[in-house]
């Protein structure tokens, strides 16, 4: 089942239809978010990770992109829970809210009052490899005055898809994009962290990144559990090549180590000790196994 906002009800996925004139389809006029829920076997519970934070970000995207979302953050969260309950989910699941413009006019503008909005689920694993070998993309990251990368516009994913496609065609697992000034921005669908001499760096929002929710959780883990303050600071590709450890963060991929960039081995070419510690803590948090982070985990079946 999928929830369709414009119909204000849950609909069988096979019964959905959208006009070929739709502007989401024609011009990429839409925005998305991506949420995950994790099954905890021991507690027989599904925990939705940072649900309201994702819905707040979706609202922010909608505001910046003139895509009206006629439901509050609380309503969106409650609908997501109903959707998962309706589908009786008892396994890890990816949840995608999507909002896109209708088909009332031809011009690519955002005045069209009619929006489609849906929430659907996905069960396939996004990136099963335990660590990645990536390249620097020949594609530049979209800039803040182009298609704002600080939001999640559907149109922005053409940039990610071109970078991903080039990377996999050339035998890499992923692509890191640079800003037009040449600073490291982010991976096609994930944020990036580097570790040098015990210090941890990640690019600032002004380097055309999406302010990732996993990035934020990672900074919190580093501060609260490892006593390390992340430095939000611009850096270049050479600092990537010469880092002791590099890892990516994202809802879909979690904490993912990078062991090679442009055929240069990172550190010892293995998953580094700080990366694996962050990864270990993150994996406990999302599955509702660390009491101090339970505020981030919305239980589905609890009364
Ligand atoms: N950057 C981009 C371009 C993304 O699509 C994502 C995935 N949402 C991220 C970074 C990571 O963000 P988050 O941790 O919120 O999933």
Query: Which of 139, 203, 251 has most ligand 1 atoms within 8 Å of its beta carbon, as the pocket-test mutant?
Result: 251
Ligand 1 pocket, Cβ-based, cut-off 6 angstroms:
34, 160, 186, 189-191, 210, 212-215, 249-251
Whether 300 is in a domain gets the answer: no
Question: How remote is the CA of residue 111 from the centroid of ligand 1, in Å?
Answer: 27
Confidence of residue 203 (pLDDT cuts 50, 70, 90): very high
Which run of H or E residues covers position 119?
Answer: strand 115-122
Residues 118 and 136 in one domain: no
Whether 301 is in a domain gets the answer: no
Whether 293 is in a domain gets the answer: no
Is residue 165 classed as helix, strand or coil in its secondary structure? helix
Tokens of 172: 């890499």
Whichever domain contains 44, its CATH number is 3.30.470.10
Beta pairing, strands 132-140 & 254-261: parallel
Average pLDDT, the chain: 95
Confidence of residue 2 (pLDDT cuts 50, 70, 90): confident
Residues 89 and 172 in one domain: no
Mean pLDDT is lowest, of 20-29, 53-62, 77-86, 105-114, for: 105-114
Whether 262 is in a domain gets the answer: yes
Residues 59 and 199 in one domain: no
**Residue 43 phi, psi dihedral angles, 5° rounding:** -90, -5
Question: How remote is the CA of residue 289 from the centroid of ligand 1, in Å?
Answer: 23
Residues 268 and 222 in one domain: yes
Residues 109 and 146 in one domain: no
CA-based R_g, the chain, Å:
19
Q: How far is CA 110 from CA 32, 135, 167, 188, in A?
A: 16, 36, 33, 26
What is the predicted ipTM?
A: 0.99
Residues 117 and 12 in one domain: yes
Whether 277 is in a domain gets the answer: yes
Whichever domain contains 220, its CATH number is 3.20.10.10
Is residue 247 classed as helix, strand or coil in its secondary structure? strand
Residues 186 and 72 in one domain: no
Question: Nearest-CA neighbor of 110 among 70, 49, 159, 66?
Answer: 66
Question: How remote is the CA of residue 250 from the centroid of ligand 1, in Å?
Answer: 5
Confidence of residue 114 (pLDDT cuts 50, 70, 90): low
Torsion-angle region of 285 (φ positive above 0: left; ψ -120 to 50: alpha; else: beta): alpha
Q: Which residues pair with 248 in a beta bridge?
A: 192, 256
Residue 63 has, within 13 A of its CA and on its CB side, a CA count of 10
- What is the number of structural domains in the chain? 2
Q: Which of the listed residues 89, 122, 155 is the one where a domain comes to its end?
A: 122
Tokens of 110: 């955002």
Confidence of residue 303 (pLDDT cuts 50, 70, 90): low
For residues 72-76, average pLDDT: 96
Residues 39 and 59 in one domain: yes
Residues 109 and 197 in one domain: no
Range of the domain at 54: 2-122
Whether 303 is in a domain gets the answer: no
Question: How remote is the CA of residue 45 from the centroid of ligand 1, in Å?
Answer: 25
Whether 51 is in a domain gets the answer: yes
User: Residue with structure tokens 């006629």?
Assistant: 70
Whether 270 is in a domain gets the answer: yes
Residues 177 and 100 in one domain: no
For residues 188-205, average pLDDT: 98
């Amino acid at each position: 089942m999928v929830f369709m906002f414009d119909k204000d009800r849950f609909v069988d996925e096979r019964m959905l239809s959208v006009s070929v004139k739709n502007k989401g389809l024609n011009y990429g006029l839409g925005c998305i978010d991506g949420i995950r829920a994790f099954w905890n076997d021991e507690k027989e519970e599904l925990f939705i990770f940072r649900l309201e934070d994702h819905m707040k970000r979706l609202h922010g995207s909608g505001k910046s992109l003139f895509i009206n979302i006629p439901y509050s953050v609380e309503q969106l969260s409650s609908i997501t829970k109903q959707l998962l309950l309706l589908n009786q989910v008892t396994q890890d699941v990816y949840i995608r809210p999507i909002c896109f413009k209708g088909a009332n006019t031809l011009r690519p503008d955002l005045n069209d009052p009619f929006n489609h909005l849906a929430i659907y689920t996905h069960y396939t694993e996004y990136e099963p490899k335990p660590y990645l070998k990536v390249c620097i993309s020949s594609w530049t990251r979209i800039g803040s005055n182009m298609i704002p990368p600080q939001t999640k516009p559907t149109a922005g994913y053409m940039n990610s898809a071109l970078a991903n496609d080039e990377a996999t065609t050339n035998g890499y697992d992923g692509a890191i994009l640079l800003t037009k000034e040449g600073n490291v921005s982010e991976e096609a669908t994930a944020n990036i962290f580097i570790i040098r001499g015990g210090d941890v760096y990640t690019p600032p929002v002004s380097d055309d990144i999406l302010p990732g929710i996993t990035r934020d959780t990672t900074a919190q883990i580093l501060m609260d559990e490892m006593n390390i303050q992340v430095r939000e600071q611009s850096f270049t590709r050479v600092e990537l090549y010469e880092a002791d450890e590099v890892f990516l963060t994202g809802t879909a991929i979690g904490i993912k180590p990078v062991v090679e960039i442009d055929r240069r081995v990172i550190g010892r070419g293995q998953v580094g000790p700080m990366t694996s510690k962050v990864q270990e803590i993150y994996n406990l948090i999302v599955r509702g196994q660390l009491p101090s982070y339970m505020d981030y985990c919305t239980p589905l079946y609890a009364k």
